[in-house]
Chains A and B, each alone.
Chain A
Amino acid sequence: MELIFWWMIPAAFLVAGGTYWVVRKRDRIDGSVRRPVAHSHRLTELPEYRAAVRRHRRWLTVAAVAGGVLMAAAVVAAARPAERSTVSPEQRNRDIILCLDASGSMSSADAAVVEVFARLAQGFDGERLGLTVFDSSAVQVFPLTDDYDFVQEQLAEAKEAFDGAPGSAGFLDGTWNGAGSSLIGDGLASCVEGFPAAEDGAPGDSGGTVERSRSVILATDNFVSGDPIFTLEEAAVLAKEKDVRVYALNPGEFDYGIDPDQPGAQLRMAAEGTDGAYYALDSPEAVQDIIRKVQSTEATAFKAAPQAALADRAEIPLGIALVSGLVLAGASWRLRS
């Protein structure tokens, strides 16, 4: 507990002293309007008068105490008592793009990812979410946005499409325009380009007005069939240049051995090359755990420096001031009547 405007208290004492002096001075001048009388014992020795004086004095004391407490509480409140605490705020300015491979083999994993994010988006505040689906060509379903209602709506639609609900096939329109299918490198590159350009050209430089972390949740099995414009490695380099972390989820790891040319190993390399991570997925239910892990990793990575937080704690002095103000009002009414 500390006082922000601590000088308020000596200032209040000075003002109080000055007022007291002025009032005393004026009181001495005002004394002439009172009538001088002699033999006041004629009145003061009456028990009835003494009782009246005692009553009056009691109420005066109550009023004086209440007034004093009111003043003191008001001064304390004006001095802004505050509680200082150190907090390490979790970074809330994250941009996440869900980059989902829309090939048929991925639909259950995609549905799980979308479902998890639909749930997470309810608790988001400040984070931006985007969704891009790709197969042979990439389609940005919605760009980075913090309109969470819209996000929920879109994610629900995406989930229906990935679950294969009737009438929802149109959701994936436009993802087959390229040559081949599952052009992972192109998809990732499209997702990475979905982030806005860094403001001063130096991504991740803290010189920018708002530093936002960037991550891509890439769900793919990395089975490329066709001729992509970007290879996965090139896309990963692009991501690293733009300071984007790639978290890869692979629902079907079919690597044989530890050959680095295997698709799973390539994906792992690509993801880890961007400071991201790679997760092999055994079942769609595991998606939830993995994304929570990703979220916490992100949170740790982007925990801001500990900050001193000051919270005003004026409620106690103000409460005291209110109560003593009421008492003062009652006492002065009593004194006046």
Chain B
Amino acid sequence: MSSLLTRVKSKMSIFAHRKARGMLDGEYGSVFKGRSLDFDDLRAYIPGDEVRDIDWKASARHGSPLIKRYVAVRRQTVLLITDTGRNMAASALGGEEKKDIGVMALGVVGYLAQRHGDVVGLVCGDATGSRSLPAKAGEAHLERILRTVDGGTGLTSPRSSIGEQLSYVARNYGQRMLLFVVADELVPDAGMERLLRRLRAQHEVLWLTVQDAQLAGADSATQPADRYDVADSRLLPGRLAESEAVIRAYTAAQEQRDAAREAVLRRLGIAHVHAGSSHDVMPAVFTLLERHRRGK
């Protein structure tokens, strides 16, 4: 079995080739590393760096843009939160298993954090309970985190409930952290909103939604007709979802749900983005960091 982290890195390098190299690195650094008053040194500009960090005088002398580096205020703790219930073993919008997308997203963020010297921890689980891995540095630890998520998610896992993991975090972590939540399409209710507000008061929260498979409509035309629900094994005959009226109603309901989720998370000040396949993960994380910076 090839290393999950290798897969994440190769994905990132492909992304880096397509965008400007290191863009994501710079993005993460400028978003999270913060600025203390203790100047450390200068380094070459990499795309994604804050423009206001450029040392214009030094750059003028040097001939190319230079960035002022400060001694980091503190080591940040990044807590990855995800769902390893059987919902995550179901199909995503793009046809993969949702956990593959989740692992990719966790890997990208974890790797960025790790590169910047942050420690990365994990909280995962299902409706029956949550597990946690302590926050540590190092690629080996990150690989272990990814394997825990990948191996712990299957069609035989218990039911999913991301609320369980969130309340676990609320109960057990006292320090201020950066929370990166990977979950599937959340249906926010009053209790969930309260919980998120509580977490948001203590932590910085980034949220990536893994989009669920489309159950009716054009996108599902190339896929096998019959589906079943992982929660209760209920059969969903594909033919029944092919009629015009059903597709129209489904599309409308889907838009409404997306809008509702978006509205709740925005209201709470949680940067939110969604990804339907593992190709979407890199741009999604980039957008997420951008949004988080703008939200500050």
Are A42 and B224 in touch, CB under 8 angstroms?
no
Distance of A16 from chain B, by nearest CB (Å): 23
Measured between C-beta atoms, what is the minimum distance from A33 to chain B in Å?
A: 6
- Closest beta carbon of chain B to A160's beta carbon, Å: 83
Evaluate whether A38 and B98 lie within 8 angstroms (CB atoms) in the complex, with A43-B241, A52-B240 already known: yes
On chain B, the residues within 8 Å of A44 by CB distance are 234, 236
B85 to chain A, nearest CB (A): 9
Task: Check if B230 is an interface residue, CB within 8 A of chain A.
Answer: yes
Interface membership of A292, Cβ < 8 A: no
Question: In the complex, what residues of A have CB within 8 A of residue B185's CB?
Answer: 39, 42
Contact status of A39 and B87, CB under 8 A, knowing A34-B226, A48-B246, A49-B246: yes
Indicate which residue in B230, B239, B243 contacts A38 across the interface (CB closer than 8 Å).
Answer: B230
Number of A-B residue pairs, CB cutoff 8 Å, is: 98
- Asked if B246 contacts A52 (CB within 8 A), the reply is yes
Interface string of A222-239 (1 = CB under 8 A from B): 000000000000000000
Taking the complex as formed, is A31 at the interface, i.e. its CB lies under 8 A from any CB of chain B?
yes
CA distance A313 to B160 in the complex (A): 61
Most interface-central of B155, B184, B250 (chain A CB within 10 A): B250
Q: A interface, by DSSP: helix, strand, loop or mixed?
A: helix
Closest B residue to A43 by beta carbon equals B215
Contact indicator B257/A37 (Cβ below 8 Å): no
Measured between beta carbons, the chain A residues less than 8 angstroms from B160 are 38
Q: Counting CB contacts under 8 A, is B231 at the interface?
A: yes
Residue of A nearest to B247 (CB): A48
CA distance A39 to B224 in the complex (A): 18
* A35 CB within 8 Å of chain B: yes
A256 to chain B, nearest CB (A): 105
* CA distance in complex: A42, B246 (Å): 11
Known contacts: A49-B249, A52-B240. The answer to whether A38 contacts B235 by CB under 8 A is no
CA distance A38 to B86 in the complex (A): 8
Which chain B residue lies CB-closest to A53? B240
A36 interface contact, C-beta 8 A? yes
Give a binary string over B212-255; 1 marks a CB under 8 Å from any A CB, 0 the rest: 11011000000110111111001111011101011011100110
Question: Taking CB as reference atom, which chain B residue is nearest A337?
Answer: B239
B residues sitting closer than 8 Å to A (CB atoms) are 86-91, 98, 155, 160, 184-185, 187, 212-213, 215-216, 223-224, 226-231, 234-237, 239-241, 243, 245-246, 248-250, 253-254, 257
Cβ contacts A to B, 26 pairs, < 8 Å: A34-B224, A35-B223, A36-B89, A36-B227, A36-B229, A37-B227, A37-B229, A37-B230, A38-B87, A38-B88, A38-B98, A38-B212, A38-B231, A39-B184, A39-B185, A39-B187, A40-B227, A40-B234, A43-B215, A43-B250, A46-B246, A49-B216, A49-B250, A52-B241, A56-B237, A56-B240
Closest 3 A/B residue pairs (Cβ):
A40-B229, A38-B87, A43-B215
Q: Which residues of A contact B (CB under 8 A)?
A: 31, 33-40, 42-44, 46-49, 52-53, 56
- Given A38-B90, A44-B236, output 20 extra A-B contacts at Cβ < 8 Å: A31-B228, A33-B226, A34-B226, A36-B91, A37-B215, A37-B227, A38-B88, A38-B160, A38-B230, A39-B184, A40-B228, A40-B234, A42-B257, A46-B246, A47-B249, A48-B246, A49-B241, A52-B243, A56-B239, A56-B240
